[in-house]
Amino acid sequence: MGYILFNLIKSHLITFGGSTHKATLQLNNDTLRWSSKVKYLGLYLTGSADFKIDLRTAEWKYFGCFNKIIKSVIGQQVNEMMVLKLVKTYCLPRLLYGCESWPIETVDKHELDVIWNNGFRHIVNCCWRESVKPLQFSVNLCCCHT
């Protein structure tokens, strides 16, 4: 017969929505800690009355990958479409990793669009105030929604 081993350091209690009543739960005579956020699939889920997904970690991973691609093509004669394809192929998955498990009402689609649009503007050398949606649509590179 198998059994499950729990790591007390990695196990947390968190409340999503509703009451913030904090009961005590023990595991192997050790009390589990309450947390305001937990890491799941590389992202932090924030517990409170309003369940939210913290995209900062995903944003850092996206821009880390983005900057590596940009630095590798600076000074080379690479067209924007190639850079966009590289960013969509290698960076966008870092931003959207685990999105299949996100409750849709908890996702800030505007925040995702801003991250994607800022990278897109950098590649095509657009003004930060200009909308890039028509250009993204024409090259079929929209991130979240059109």
CB 58 within 8 Å of CB 96: yes
CA distance 66 to 121: 12
Over residues 38-42, the mean pLDDT reads 77
With 90 as the cut, is the pLDDT of residue 112 above it?
no
pLDDT: is 116 or 140 the higher one?
116
**Band of the pLDDT at 18, cuts 50, 70, 90?**
low
Q: Mapping DSSP to helix (H, G, I), strand (E, B) and coil, where does residue 118 land?
A: helix
For residue 67, the model assigns a pLDDT of 93
How many C-beta neighbours within 10 Å does residue 37 have? 16
- What digits encode the pLDDT tens for the residues 49-99? 666 677 888 899 999 999 999 888 877 777 888 888 899 899 999 988 877
CA distance 119 to 90: 13
> Which residues does 79 contact at the CB level (< 8 Å), separation at least 6?
none
Say what the pTM is: 0.65
